[in-house]
Amino acid sequence: MESNRRIKLRTLELVLVLFFMKACASEIYPKAQNVTWSSINFKSILTWSPKPTNYSYTVEFSESGQDRERTPHCIQTMGTECDLTAKLKKLQAYYSADILSESLRGVSSDLVEFPHVSSAKFSPYYETVIGRPEFKIEVSSDKNKMTLHVTDVPTALFDENNNRLNIRDVFKDKLQYKVTYRKAKSTGKKEEISKSSVVELTDLDRGVSYCFYVQAFLPFRAIDKQHGEISQVQCSPEENTSIFEEYGVGVIAGAILIIIFAITAIIIVIVMCYRRKKRAETTGKEGLPLNGV
């Protein structure tokens, strides 16, 4: 009985020692705060705060369900960010990270477990922000069609031959573009979604200037992650088309005939009215009695 009491007492003492050691460790090495993943065009960086003074940070990261790893430039660092772009090789996987608060580089510590804080899970494929694309406007010779040539945004990724990849290389046929456009002198907007980087628009008025902006569209993502950044607005030139180009010879000829018929009808009516008036005057004079001599 006495032996059991001693065991329980020592266990309690050990728990209290560990508790106070952790409390002291947290005071000496404050935990990181505001841990955030930021990623644009697959350049993925883990950030946190505050700036350390007499301690340092070490980042450990792992794919879900796998062992944790470290990257050399994020061990006992005085910085508050860690670029993990090259380490997150399985783009569609989900990753998490721990940020440990440790002693300064070269300074020993008796602590077995350092204070740490965990990040949220992050997947480059499903969460990186796609930057604003660039595009060129091409107007067809007959002015019946405008074509937007969109340049696929380059990423921070490279293939095995060290060639930079663009977003089309990564997302392939899952990448779409959303084009929003309006007449330059109007506020009404229309949208066109294309699976290609070459977007053809044919429902436009000839000779009218249109303004466009483009953004990457990834419909397989969560709603708040589907759209990339909006490009700069570009407008097509306003054409000074002649009346023959605008309406066509047939329409103009028809309009001229209508005008001729209208003028002819007006002349006929005027002549008829004039003759009736003259006839009425003549008839009136013939019906008057002769004046006495």
Residue 11: per-residue pLDDT:
53
The tally of CA atoms less than 13 A away on the side-chain side of residue 87 is: 23
Output the pLDDT for position 22: 45
Residue 138: the pLDDT is 96
pLDDT in tens, 72-96: 999 999 999 999 999 999 999 999 9
At 284 the pLDDT is 60
Per-residue pLDDT reduced to its tens digit, 21-36: 444 444 578 999 999 9
The answer to whether 172 and 197 are in contact (CB under 8 A) is no
Q: In the chain, which stretches have pLDDT less than 70?
A: 1-27, 239-249, 251, 280-281, 283-293
Give all domains of the chain, ordered by start, each with its CATH number: 2-127 (2.60.40.10), 134-245 (2.60.40.10)
The pLDDT of residue 146: 95
Check residue 202 and give its pLDDT.
92
Q: What is the pLDDT of residue 233?
A: 97
Q: Which pLDDT score, from 0 to 100, does residue 25 have? A: 46
